Structure 1
Amino acid sequence: MPYDPYKALYLHIPFCVKRCGYCDFATAATERDSPVIDEYVESLVLQLRRASKEGELGQIETVYLGGGTPSHIGMGRLSMLLYALSTAMHLEPEVECTMEANPESLTAPMVRDIWALGVNRLSIGVQSFDDDVLRILGRAHDAEAARAAVRMAQERFRNVSVDLMGGIPGQSLASFEASVREAVALGVTHVSVYPLAIEPRTPFDAAVMRGEMAEPDDDVEAACMEAAERILGEAGFIRYEVASYARPGFESRHNTAYWTGVPYLGLGRSAATMTQNAERRMRVQDGRVVDDLNARQMAAEDLMLAMRMAQGVSDERIARAAATIGAGAVGAAFDELAALGLAEHRDGRWRPTERGWLCGNELYGRLLDLAP
């Protein structure tokens, strides 16, 4: 059985000016003038040409340049990459094309040039508008640089997103709330809000083990997430996914593709590719299979991913999953989630509750257990 066509494309740029203490992504601190970056970008261009020649880009609807820090590699290399992208596929205005940027490497000429080359959405890694918190995180920018980056982006882009982080040891709830309010005041159209996670083998993990940094407090992180929902909701933002808020019409179509089981192609170091048809879903990363799901496991994963979204999952979709997994098991799982206060049923849909979003691991784990 042939695989469904790819609808989303991810290009991985694994270079940063420095690695933050909490980061466990496949990135490296690399000097901007390093020939390593030139070689990598040239390789990525060749991968784009190959994918185009093999017909893999013909139905792409969203593109995402992530990292790392794509803005770190400079406009010359970005021009090469974006030109190759535009010749490899139809980069029409309807295609959502997002690029990640950090304040220390985003410039006004870069904003103008990437916009002219087809990027139509910018996602800026702010994390906080508090200089003390930025120092704790080890970020390469200060608060004023973050403000300036957002204002520069808005000179060309209507669709500007910022990332904010909460629950950071040493960060007060008032500081977090002030950062959320500042994002609103700056006029961004999308905000992603994440609690700090201490990942194994990171500098933050080592600091916690040595007793030099406190573990993030679950209650503080929950308070931050609740504050974000309140402040952004009052400002007219809609929470459409567990960590994502947008003004109406500015939801991330690319990230939504991940959460709705759309096949995606990843190019570059450590970029993941997901292929599927009615019988099988397979994810490949770094040339090896990291997930190989059968139809039952696909149905369970689709339910789990749908419950990350505010719209949840319809009764019709649950019925289709139940036909594959078993009606008794699926019904019992959602009844249990309701009894635990993690999900609720109304208007023909199951949706996560506020508790369900705060206790996501419990909710998602129960659904994945339907087809281990």
Structure 2
Amino acid sequence: MPHDPYKALYLHLPFCVKRCGYCDFATAAVPADSPEIDAYVEDLCLQIRRKAKEGELGAIETVYLGGGTPSHLGLSRLSMLLYTLSLSMRLEPDVECTMEANPESLTERMVRDVWALGVNRLSIGVQSFDDDVLAVLGRAHDADAAHRAVAAAQTRFENVSVDLMCGIPGQSASSFEASVREAVSLGVTHVSVYPLTIEAHTPFNAAVLAGELDEPDDDVEAEHMEIAARVLAEAGFERYEVASYARPGFQSRHNIAYWTGVPYLGLGRSAATMTQNAERRMRVQDGQVTDDLNARGMAAEDLMLGMRMTRGVSDDHVARAAALLPAAPAVLEELALEGLVKHEDGRWRPTERGWLCGNDLYGALFDLA
């Protein structure tokens, strides 16, 4: 079907030095010298060139190399991938190009080379600066390696993000707060904070079922998220999305694309693609349709996704949605009475309680369809 041009490109690199016990992503622990990685990257380069020939990369504004651990690929493969990308699309400085990395595989030389090849944002999977917490998570690095990785990244990159996790069994509030403060002190420009989620079919799930690991406590996770909000706000970071904080001008444009209905193309194993036109929005993963929304469904989903953002949705947005979803204004009023959203300055915005009770907030809006 004819569709709006893709504005965001996601490249999935599903390889890690080891697989963490909580991970349910489409990844595998594969040695760095494995021919399997060579074959995968070569195929991904072919996919990129094919999409370029089909004219699908001409309007791309953000690129994200995710995983897995892209830095685990090593320099030669990353160079081939980024060179192919630069030949296939406009990879200018105004195109945000993010690469994920983990501390155990990010080196100063890699930083210099990927920067020269067009990457302009690094996202480092730190998770914690507490060695005991890192041991619980089964991470392949320690706190010293995390410090070295951030320092290496900053030899070229101004735009450096770190991921932190909270609500981890055995992680105290003081330990988590110390990690947030450490990220600030290192001078990063973006912090993402994710509560630990126990996913089915993971080693952590088996450990919880066997009584070997405590299940994450919702109240503890809420306390930790409130600590992050307070510490980062005091340090001059702005919370622009439920899990993301940035210094002014350093919000992730790629993340925002996902929450604002921007069509995106995913390449690589299990990468999702979202296509849309005025009548239909469809998500496809591994050749299977995972979502197929009509205009009403699109309107409801856009309201729901908008509530992941601090800025929420405007009155004009709600009025347009109400043409397809007449109950939308009344539902927002009900959510306001429940303390999940608030109305101010011509916008409906999520409250802190709305984010903490996200299932109630998002479900009520999506049910409008």
TM-score normalised by the shorter chain: which range applies?
Answer: over 0.9
How far off is 1:175 after superposition? Answer: 0.2
- Once residues 81 and 226 of structure 2 are traced to their aligned partners in structure 1, the CA distance between those partners, rounded to angstroms, is 40
2:169 maps to what in 1? 169
Q: TM-score, normalised by structure 1?
A: 0.99
1:357 maps to what in 2? 355
Percent of paired sites with the same residue: 79
- Once residues 362 and 140 of structure 1 are traced to their aligned partners in structure 2, the CA distance between those partners, rounded to angstroms, is 36
Counterpart secondary structure, 1:98: strand
Counterpart secondary structure, 2:104: coil
How many residue pairs get aligned? The number is 369
How far off is 1:2 after superposition? Answer: 2.5
Deviates more, 1:127-136 or 1:331-340: 331-340
How far off is 1:324 after superposition? Answer: 1.1
How far off is 1:361 after superposition? Answer: 1.3
Aligned 1:1-372 pairs, distance under 5 A: 2-326=2-326, 329-371=327-369
Runs of 4+ aligned residues of structure 1 deviating over 6 Å after TM superposition are: none
- Once residues 111 and 208 of structure 1 are traced to their aligned partners in structure 2, the CA distance between those partners, rounded to angstroms, is 38
* Amino acid paired to 2:330: A
* Amino acid paired to 2:166: G
How far off is 1:360 after superposition? Answer: 1.0
How far off is 1:262 after superposition? Answer: 0.2
How far off is 1:270 after superposition? Answer: 0.3
Counterpart secondary structure, 1:365: helix
Q: Structure 1: which 5+ runs fail to align? A: none
- Once residues 147 and 358 of structure 1 are traced to their aligned partners in structure 2, the CA distance between those partners, rounded to angstroms, is 30
- Once residues 308 and 331 of structure 2 are traced to their aligned partners in structure 1, the CA distance between those partners, rounded to angstroms, is 16
How far off is 1:189 after superposition? Answer: 0.1
Deviates more, 1:356-365 or 1:3-12: 356-365
How far off is 1:325 after superposition? Answer: 1.5
Counterpart secondary structure, 1:104: helix
Q: Cα deviations across residues 307-363 of structure 1 (Å, max 9, x unaligned)?
A: 10000000000000000122xx11221011111100000111000011011111111
Counterpart secondary structure, 2:191: strand
- Once residues 331 and 195 of structure 2 are traced to their aligned partners in structure 1, the CA distance between those partners, rounded to angstroms, is 27
* Amino acid paired to 2:249: G
* Amino acid paired to 2:258: Y
Q: Cα deviations across residues 82-102 of structure 1 (Å, max 9, x unaligned)?
A: 000000001011000000000
Q: TM-score, normalised by structure 2?
A: 0.99
- Once residues 361 and 104 of structure 1 are traced to their aligned partners in structure 2, the CA distance between those partners, rounded to angstroms, is 35
- Once residues 332 and 200 of structure 1 are traced to their aligned partners in structure 2, the CA distance between those partners, rounded to angstroms, is 36
* Amino acid paired to 1:365: G
- Once residues 29 and 4 of structure 2 are traced to their aligned partners in structure 1, the CA distance between those partners, rounded to angstroms, is 37
CA RMSD of aligned residues (A): 0.6
- Once residues 324 and 357 of structure 1 are traced to their aligned partners in structure 2, the CA distance between those partners, rounded to angstroms, is 26
Counterpart secondary structure, 1:82: helix
Q: Cα deviations across residues 286-320 of structure 1 (Å, max 9, x unaligned)?
A: 01100000000000000000010000000000000
* Amino acid paired to 1:133: V
Q: Cα deviations across residues 127-177 of structure 1 (Å, max 9, x unaligned)?
A: 000000000000000000001100100000000000000000010010000
Q: Cα deviations across residues 40-67 of structure 1 (Å, max 9, x unaligned)?
A: 0000000000000000000000000000
* Amino acid paired to 2:98: T
